[in-house]
Amino acid sequence: MPYDKPIPDPSPHTKPFWEGAKAGKLMLPRCTNCNRVHWYPRLICPNCHSRDLEWIEGSGEGRIHTFAVQHRAFGGWAGETPFVTAYIDLNEGDRMLTVLRGVDPTKPEEIKIGAKVRVEFEPASEDVHIPFWRVV
């Protein structure tokens, strides 16, 4: 069945991220001046305002910062409710949004903030593989 949920539209600026995703790598922007990794990708370091930025391959590991269970959704996601959304603290720093995998949305009390998660990529189209995080 073709992927029926919203598919991100990569911009020229974020191309390295989406190329990495296609190859199964979590590419993250890092400032070569202050060495800080940030997310989402900026055109300028939000910490020191240098424009000397590079892409590094992240560990693909992190922890749950917080989460919620969506009982109402639209489009392709409407048929998936309930599902768990979460903000993930990356091991490298900063935070990503995801639909969390490997958890039971009917038992939110069993989902633990701080639990370790790992990234995986789902092919949504030929060019766009979407990162999702799974509890390990």
Partner 1 sequence: MPGVLSRAAAIVGAAEANEIGYPAEPRTSLQLHIEAIKNVSEQTGIPISRIDGIFSAGWSSELAEHLGLHPKYIDTTAVGGCSFEMHVHHALAAIHAGIIDVALVSHGEAGWSARANRGRGGRPGGGAGDPWAPGTQFTTAYGLSGAPSNYSHSMTRHNHRFGTTPEDFANIAVVTRQWATLNPRAVMFSKETHPEGGPITIEDVQKARLIAWPLTLLHCCLVTDYGGAILITNPEIARSVKTKPVWIAGAAENMSHSNMLEMEDFTATSAAASSAAAYKMAGMGPEDMEMAMIYDSFTITAGITAEMLGLAPRGEGFKLWKDGHAAPGGRLPINTNGGGLSFNHSGMYGQQLIVEAYRQLTGTAEDGVNGIAGKQTTARSCVVNGTGGSLSTTGTLVLVAD
Q: For residues 92 and 19, what is the distance between their CA atoms, to the nearest angstrom?
A: 20
Q: Is residue 85 involved in binding partner 1 (CB under 8 A)?
A: yes
Nearer to partner 1, 47 or 61 (CB): 47
> Does the protein bind partner 1 through residue 77 (CB under 8 A)?
yes
| Least distance from partner 1 to the Cβ atom of residue 121, Å | 11
Q: Using CA atoms, how far apart are residues 99 and 20, in angstroms rounded to an integer?
A: 20
Is residue 39 within the footprint of partner 1 (CB under 8 A)?
yes
CB 37 within 8 A of CB 93: yes
Alpha helices in the chain (DSSP H): 15-22
Residue 124 touching partner 1 (CB under 8 A)? yes
55 binds partner 1 (CB under 8 A): no
For the record, the structure tokens of 74 come out as 């639209």
Of 136, 49, 55, residue with least CA distance to 101: 136
Q: Binding of partner 1 at residue 118 (CB under 8 A)? A: no
The smaller minimum CB distance to partner 1, of residues 23 and 48, is found at: 48
Give the list of residues 6+ apart from residue 127 with CB closer than 8 angstroms, or none: 10, 18, 22
Question: Rule CB under 8 A: is residue 34 a binding residue for partner 1?
Answer: no
Instruction: Note whether 102 binds partner 1 by CB under 8 A.
Output: no
CA distance linking residue 32 with residue 56, whole number of Å: 11
Positions that interact with partner 1 (CB under 8 A): 5-14, 39-44, 46-47, 49, 51, 65-74, 77, 80, 82-83, 85-87, 95-99, 108, 113, 124, 130
